[in-house]
Chain A
Amino acid sequence: METVEEQSDEVVSDDKSECPDGKSGYPGDVDADLIARCKEELPHETAAYYELLKKYESMVYSTCYRMLGDKLEAEEATQDAFLRIFHKIHQFEGRSTFKTWMFRIVYNFCMTRRRKLATKREREETVGDEMIIRTKEEHRMAMGPDMDNSEYVHLALKELRDEDREIITLRFISDLSLEQIAEVLDAKLSATKMRLYRAMEKFKDVYLRQQKAREEMLNEA
């Protein structure tokens, strides 16, 4: 199996899944028309590509942000992924949906970036690649009563292990099906189901623990 580093530097193949007719793209791919237009138009005309950008940029950026936990890193990963798509879309053969192919690229870029970040953090003698809220002050600030629920969700996600946060992100932010997640992660469907299940259980535990801590803090105040 290729390493993640290699995958992000090379064209991401879409040959992991079957394409029944092998010619006209993945059956039912909602993006088939846009992809066909991109292949005809790029690089001189960018209207179809811009349609793709408008459709997926926000979802890709949100995915990168949840995976990397840093806005600047997320912006750069999003840009890298869409540039790769711009240059390599003519090599997309429709053996998976475009969305699956795109998120394999996004995932690989995020993994590469996260490794670099982890190395950098290790060099800076921080806690490594787990995004842990480190100081009591940060913790108290992060749990302030003024936060809305989506911020509590974000806080709980931050406390998960990277691989748990990844799969929850792919399912709920990238809005991928289990089959698509399995393709992106290059894993078996049964393993993907189990991994998602365990990640959701962990999220639930963390969320409930943080909720309890917030309530205790409010009672003390």
Chain B
Amino acid sequence: MKLETDFDDEITDEELAKIESELMDLAGPFPLPPTPPSEQRMQSILQRAKLEALAAEAADFTRDGVTSGLKGVIDTLLALGEKPSPEDGDSPDKD
């Protein structure tokens, strides 16, 4: 969104304060009071935040689990690769 950024005429702090004061005289509860806090809304945010954190941890755990699982498979495959083949004539299976 493009915002106005430059002006030839500057507004002074006094001018701003004056119109703020006018608005307060004119429109009573201006500035408006905020909506009262809602325990229900806060709990909803908190619960969702906790769930998302838990989901992130679970995703990390799963990723780590998969990584370590894959590492195990690779280690096993490597070990199998190093295992002498039957053609070497030295396999314990031969016996």
Residues of A bordering B, CB below 8 Å: 4, 42-44, 46, 49-50, 53-54, 57-59, 61-62, 65-66, 75, 78-79, 82-83, 86-87, 111, 149-150, 152-154, 156, 171-173, 175, 178, 185-188, 190-191, 193-197, 200-201, 203-204, 207-208
Contact = CB atoms under 8 A, between A and B. Distances in A.
Contact of A58 (B10, B20, B38, B49): B38
25 contacts: A42-B53, A43-B50, A43-B56, A53-B42, A61-B41, A62-B35, A79-B41, A83-B45, A83-B48, A87-B49, A173-B31, A186-B3, A188-B6, A190-B6, A190-B10, A191-B5, A193-B16, A194-B11, A196-B16, A200-B16, A200-B20, A203-B23, A204-B26, A207-B26, A207-B27
Q: Which 10 A-B pairs have the closest CB atoms?
A: A172-B31, A43-B53, A149-B28, A62-B34, A58-B37, A86-B49, A193-B11, A197-B11, A62-B35, A150-B29
Contacts of B49: 43, 46, 49, 82-83, 86-87
B52 to A, nearest CB: 7
A173 B20 contact: no
A86 B45 CA distance: 10
A46 B42 CA distance: 12
Given A82-B49, A150-B29, A191 B7 contact: yes
B41 A57 contact: yes
Interface size classification for chain B: 35 or more
Contacts of A197: 11, 15-16, 19
Contacts of B4: 187, 191, 194-195
B66 interface: no
Contacts of B32: 62, 66, 150, 153-154, 172-173
Contacts, number: 131
Nearest to A115: B1
A152 B53 CA distance: 42
B44 interface: yes
Contact of A61 (B5, B13, B38): B38
A172 B41 contact: no
B78 to A, nearest CB: 37
A186 B2 CA distance: 10
A196 B1 CA distance: 17
B95 interface: no
A152 B26 CA distance: 11
Contacts of A178: 16
B22 interface: yes
Nearest to B2: A1
A53 B3 CA distance: 31
A185 B36 CA distance: 26
